[in-house]
Chains A and B, each alone.
Chain A
Amino acid sequence: MRSTEAASIEAGPAVAEPIPLRELARWLWLVPVLLLVAYVVGMDQGVISRSGMYLHEFMHDGRHLLAVPCH
């Protein structure tokens, strides 16, 4: 814990101990999953969702208002 103490003195009064990188790495699988969700909303034209253009057209208005280039 000595390195944590040194870091907290250097960085000011931190409220919490850093979560170990090994623990964080266990959750890394969520990153591609969440990016995929964002991709299906923002970009996909049926390649991922296998729904043809249905989902693409279904979320058309959201894409425009979320400022993603659409067509």
Chain B
Amino acid sequence: MPLSGHSPVRAIVVAGLIAGLIAGLSAGLFGLAVGESNIDGAVAVESSMEAGAARHDHGAHATAASDQKPLVSRGTQHLGLVVATALYGLAIGGLLALAFAFMRGRTGHRSDRRLALGLTAAVFVAAVAVPFLKYPANPPGVGDPETIGYRTELYLAMVAGCLAALVAAWRLSMLVPARRRAQRALAGASTFAALTALLALGLPAIGEVPAGFPSGLLSDFRLASIGLQLMLWSVLALCFAALVSRRLTRPTAPRP
């Protein structure tokens, strides 16, 4: 591999990582501004419910139920939010860039910018939006700690299944001639909708919101979660499209 690196894959991956980092940081700041008050509220509700049940939970939530000092303070967890979303954005940006590198020149897109925007939007729908409809985000205090392994498996199955449905829908839509753009888009969208609907019907439902958990807090938290994901993926799409089209069209001038 030439170390000086005029490989288009290198340019695409770097664009994806930079865009992902920017997107993750933006989403983290959005979460600090909008989401943290709901998490703080939920932690307080959880603690009081635990104090009532005298039940022990892990880490930062155990404050009221026991005298144990939490491993990480709530203030540090606020900082951790931004670190978590930044790392998540970085990983998503890199993976998206590799998918872009594979698809470039293989799908009949009209420009790098269009491919980047379309791919990011499609992956957002498959990996985030549709799984959220089946298994929405939950604040601390919602969900039985006993079933965490089971719920994680279901969530991952839903995400993986939706991504597989996206690939299947893409392959099927490519069978429609490119000049029939509307029919091609329709074929892809309807295949994706049908497959994910079957998946959602097939996977078991989870209803573990404890009685007495404030419903306003729950819906506010979920709204904040949707907002954070929208922020992350829209910034990612815009930055990735701008960076990748610029880096790929830049003339490969010899370095001084």
Bound pair: A and B?
yes
User: What residues of chain A have their CB less than 8 Å away from a CB belonging to chain B?
Assistant: 4, 7-8, 10-19, 23-24, 26-27, 30-31, 34-35, 37-38, 40-43, 52-54, 56-71
Question: Which residues between 83 and 98 of chain B lie within 8 Å of chain A, taking CB atoms?
Answer: 83-85, 87-88, 90-92, 94-95, 98
Q: Tell me the complex Cα distance, A40–B155, Å.
A: 16
Contact sample, A vs B, 25 pairs, CB 8 Å cutoff: A12-B108, A12-B110, A13-B108, A14-B107, A16-B248, A19-B102, A24-B102, A26-B9, A31-B95, A35-B91, A38-B91, A38-B92, A41-B91, A52-B71, A53-B58, A59-B80, A59-B87, A61-B78, A61-B84, A62-B84, A64-B137, A65-B31, A65-B35, A67-B128, A71-B143
Q: Tell me the complex Cα distance, A26–B35, Å.
A: 40
Interface SS, A side? helix
Name the contact of B76 in the complex, choosing from A18, A19, A58 (C-beta under 8 A).
A58
A15-B112, A53-B58 known; A70 and B143 CB under 8 Å? yes
Q: Are A37 and B91 in contact (CB under 8 A)?
A: yes
Name the contact of A58 in the complex, choosing from B77, B85, B139, B228 (C-beta under 8 A).
B77
User: What residues of chain B have their CB less than 8 Å away from a CB belonging to chain A?
Assistant: 1, 7-9, 13, 28, 31, 35-36, 39, 57-61, 70-72, 76-85, 87-88, 90-92, 94-95, 98, 101-102, 104-112, 128, 131-132, 135-140, 143, 145, 148, 151-152, 155, 174, 177-179, 221, 224-225, 228-229, 248
Q: State the 3 A-B residue pairs at the shortest beta-carbon distance, nearest first.
A: A62-B84, A12-B178, A11-B108
A11-B174, A61-B77 known; A69 and B155 CB under 8 Å? yes
Q: Tell me the complex Cα distance, A23–B174, Å.
A: 24
Q: Tell me the complex Cα distance, A28–B146, Å.
A: 36
Q: Are B225 and A65 in contact (CB under 8 A)?
A: yes
A58-B76, A67-B128, A69-B152 known; A24 and B101 CB under 8 Å? yes
A19-B105, A37-B87, A37-B90 known; A61 and B31 CB under 8 Å? yes
CB distance from B213 to the nearest CB of A (A): 14
Q: Tell me the complex Cα distance, A54–B79, Å.
A: 13
Q: Are A34 and B9 in contact (CB under 8 A)?
A: no
CB distance from B120 to the nearest CB of A (A): 16
| Chain A residues with CB below 8 A from B84, complex form | 41, 58-59, 61-63, 66
Q: Tell me the complex Cα distance, A16–B80, Å.
A: 41
CB closest residue in chain A, given B151: A69
CB closest residue in chain A, given B178: A12
Q: Are B36 and A61 in contact (CB under 8 A)?
A: yes
Q: Tell me the complex Cα distance, A58–B87, Å.
A: 13
CB distance from B179 to the nearest CB of A (A): 7
| Chain A residues with CB below 8 A from B70, complex form | 57
Q: Are A67 and B60 in contact (CB under 8 A)?
A: no
